Amino acid sequence: MNSKYRIWSSTNGFAEYIVKHTLLSDPNFLGSAAIEYKKIYESDANNPKNFHTMPDHIRKILYLDACDLIVEMDNEPILSIEITTEAGTGHNSFQRFARIAASVENDVPAFYIYPEGAIVTRKDAHPRWDRINPLIFRALDEVMNIYRIPALLYYYPSDIHDFGDCPEASPNLRQKGLHRDAEFIDCPDAASESMQNMFLAINRILMITKKYGILPGREKLLRDRIIHDQHIYMQDQYYQKSNGKSYTEMSPLSAVFTVPTEYLINYLSKYTDSNYEVGELIRSRQNTKIYQVNAHFRGDPYPGALSAIDYLVCRTGKTFEDRDYNLVLLFGKLTIDDQHKTIQITDEKNSTINDFINDVKNCSSHNLLTKNYHELKNSEIPRYFMQVRYGSTYSKAKHIRVFSYFADVILFPDGSLWRDA
């Protein structure tokens, strides 16, 4: 029996691009199977009329954030793709990392298309290349080490090797030095070496999955030569581009501080008394990593950076319980007080827990669970049933979902949130 393939995507053009350049357009591979195109709706928060209509096996990959494309075979996701043209310096490389993590945590191979460099042009300044932060390669490597599922980065083709020293001479200056495809103008040049390598890897996943089945096939992917070679290439890129610089000195790890967990517990003691103390999960870890975000509370790029920090320096297994360091997100300026064995938080950027609480409250407008049955419209009944199953998971804004999923503790100058277990 021929398999059934569905392509879920945010844009039809990118979906058609992937189909055309892979076995998904090969009649010999497909047989009598047809390709069905479906729309990805990001969350219940931003598309309450349609999100609940997507099948459960697709929604599970979107619990943190929505990727750009998912290939499904016989009602099971077999790969996801995330693509961006953004410059990859600093935190930017990690802005979409939670999407990769969500896919791989569900045992679905993930592809990340990212420019090796993009030209940035600002007023009263010469054009310059913003180059990819090499730490993204190490973060993806850590994800693969834990889940044994491919998480591969392929470069969005650009002029960086030919015009690295003179970006103003790039023939593609108006499109940030990037090579667009001649047929699919919003997609990478399909003839480039990086995209050709990616198509080969996608084809390997399609062939292995078709031959061995979805679950048995996944166990073979990292041993496949084409996928293994890209993994090795990514490791080489990390070492070449880091130029001997310690990974802890790279963003976002340069904003991460290590303190004894005792200091954190002492700080949180203002919220405890004889009837309550912070739970054993946080107490069980000797040390704590604090990600300092000295900025006004907001989303991107911090959710993706937080998820990457988890895999880079905290995570030792497949869940947040499998950490040897607590992971703390701090909005404000951190001071470590060794004398009193605690920490202090200074408000420099008007960071307040009320912004977090207000964002959560705004999400509650999407919650149907407080309604009586007779108050529900017919079209709301299946969405209500989804919320009964998942609560407000998909109804919260992305940054709220990611922060609450990854952080053991969230600290503000005027308030704190934490998990007990």
Token pair 């001997």 is at which residue?
A: 244
Which of residues 355 and 392 earns the better pLDDT score?
355
What pLDDT, on a 0 to 100 scale, did the predictor assign at position 123? 80
- Would the pLDDT of 106 be above 90? yes
Task: Give residue 355's pLDDT.
Answer: 95
pLDDT at 26: 95
What is the pLDDT at residue 7? 96
In the 8-state DSSP scheme, what is residue 12? H
pLDDT value at residue 399: 92
DSSP reduced 3-state for 362: helix
Q: What is the pLDDT of residue 210?
A: 93
The SS3 of residue 293 is strand
Q: What is the pLDDT of residue 65?
A: 83
| Euclidean distance between CA atoms 311 and 306, whole angstroms | 9
Mean pLDDT, all residues of the chain: 93
Select from 214, 176, 182 the least CA-distant residue to 195: 182
> pLDDT value at position 206?
96
Checking if the pLDDT of 2 tops 80, the result is no
Res. 135 pLDDT band, cuts 50 70 90: very high
| pLDDT tens-digit readout, 239-276 | 999 998 999 999 999 999 999 999 999 999 999 888 89
Residues 396-407 have pLDDT tens digits of 889 999 999 999
The predicted pLDDT at position 332 comes to 96
For residue range 15-61, what is the model confidence (pLDDT) as tens digits? 999 999 999 999 999 988 789 999 999 888 888 888 899 898 998 88
Share of the chain above pLDDT 70, in %: 100
- What is the pLDDT, as a whole number, of residue 1? 58
Q: Please report which confidence band the pLDDT of residue 89 belongs to, taking 50, 70 and 90 as the band edges.
A: confident
Residue extents of the structural domains in the chain: 5-242, 252-356+398-418
The whole-number pLDDT of residue 125 equals 84
Position 239 scores a pLDDT of 96
Check residue 34 and give its pLDDT: 82
User: Nearest-CA neighbor of 25 among 186, 199, 209, 221?
Assistant: 199
Instruction: Count CA atoms closer than 13 A to 339's CA, side-chain side.
Output: 2
pLDDT above 70 (res 381): yes
The DSSP result for 154-193, as a single string, is EEEPBSTTTSSS-GGG-TTGGGTTB-B-SSSTTSB-TTSH
- Mean pLDDT, residues 101-105: 93
Angle in degrees, 0-180, between the axes of helices 135-147 and 302-309, rounded to the nearest 10: 60
